[in-house]
Amino acid sequence: MTIDSRRRPRRLRSTAAMRRLTAETRLNPAGLVLPMFVQEGISEPVELDSLPAVKRHTLDSLARAAAEAAKAGLGGVMLFGVPATDKKDPFGSQAVAEDGILNRALATVRAEVGDALVVMADTCLDEFTTHGHCGVLAADGSVDNDATLEIYGAQAVAQARAGAHVVGPSGMMDHQVAAIRDALDAAGLQNTSILAYAAKYTSAFYGPFREAVACSLEGDRRSYQMDPANRREGRLETSLDIAEGADMVMVKPAGYFLDVLADIAATSPVPVAAYQVSGEYAMIQAAARNGWIDGPAALRESVLSIHRAGADVVLTYAAMELARECCDTCDCC
């Protein structure tokens, strides 16, 4: 048998140094965003059983964690607020209030890190409403798209004034980006960016997140979040958000929608983000705890695959772990 030595792809896999040199995709902490939760009315951080190494923070512990994220070189943090139960109402009023927990958290974090870290805010009502939906409800119990847009605009303005560099509308209301851009511009906040959750699917992988934000969801969100069966619709929704002024767009979840992510990344004129959601992260951690997989390696591989599919930015609960360990422990960095 004659072997053609001119065709030997394995030569480029021979050593760790060679693999690093020829890697097509590289993880970098600057491309990672850490989702963080802050809870009203607690004196110590609360560990989350379903999300190992993730906490509901106090304002003080949130500030410290944000400073650590900046020191680790992360690109940003995405903040979610957990208000006191008795402060929830059908309209999510605490989302707009200057003294609402999320707006106080934004001010606290921004005062701590300044511009060393991109401070992002979740712009949605589900954490703040008694019914747990992403918008206000009409008389028939459906989500009132247009009434919700007005609140989103006010919420985004409040978040920007509190210190958010970026607002992240995640409710999948039609025309939410345009409504928020108009509200920000009218308030003189033209420099506040919008990260649109452009292709957000109704997913079975959000369960641990809903525990984290103490969401009181009644029913489901199938009438306004996307059907996991649909691929082309992801491109359509993203194109609409870009036309309305989105500065960045996001696919959520990430790992089970890599085809959608690749489609969007191939044509998007703006940066593309993807969210490795709570269920994706929790499954890896659960399997690792049982000794079935190498947890750190699986987390690295999963986030690397999201980048490989085209994401410029990845939101992941593993951001700090990856920032600390990736470049020292794998061949991809």
Cα–Cα separations (whole angstroms), residue 309 to 26, 191, 257 = 12, 29, 10
Distance, in Å, from the CA atom of 320 to the CA atom of 34, rounded to the nearest integer, reads 7
Structural contact between residues 160 and 187, judged by C-beta atoms closer than 8 angstroms: yes
Within a 13 Å sphere around the CA of 143, how many CA atoms are in the beta-carbon half?
26
Cα–Cα separations (whole angstroms), residue 209 to 69, 100, 204, 279 = 20, 20, 11, 8
Residues annotated as catalytic (active site), given as ranges: 200, 252
Six-digit token string for 99: 């003294």
Six-digit token string for 62: 């949130």
Distance, in Å, from the CA atom of 134 to the CA atom of 224, rounded to the nearest integer, reads 9
Give the other-Cβ count within 10 Å of 309's Cβ: 23
Cα–Cα separations (whole angstroms), residue 144 to 171, 194, 220, 221 = 12, 22, 15, 13
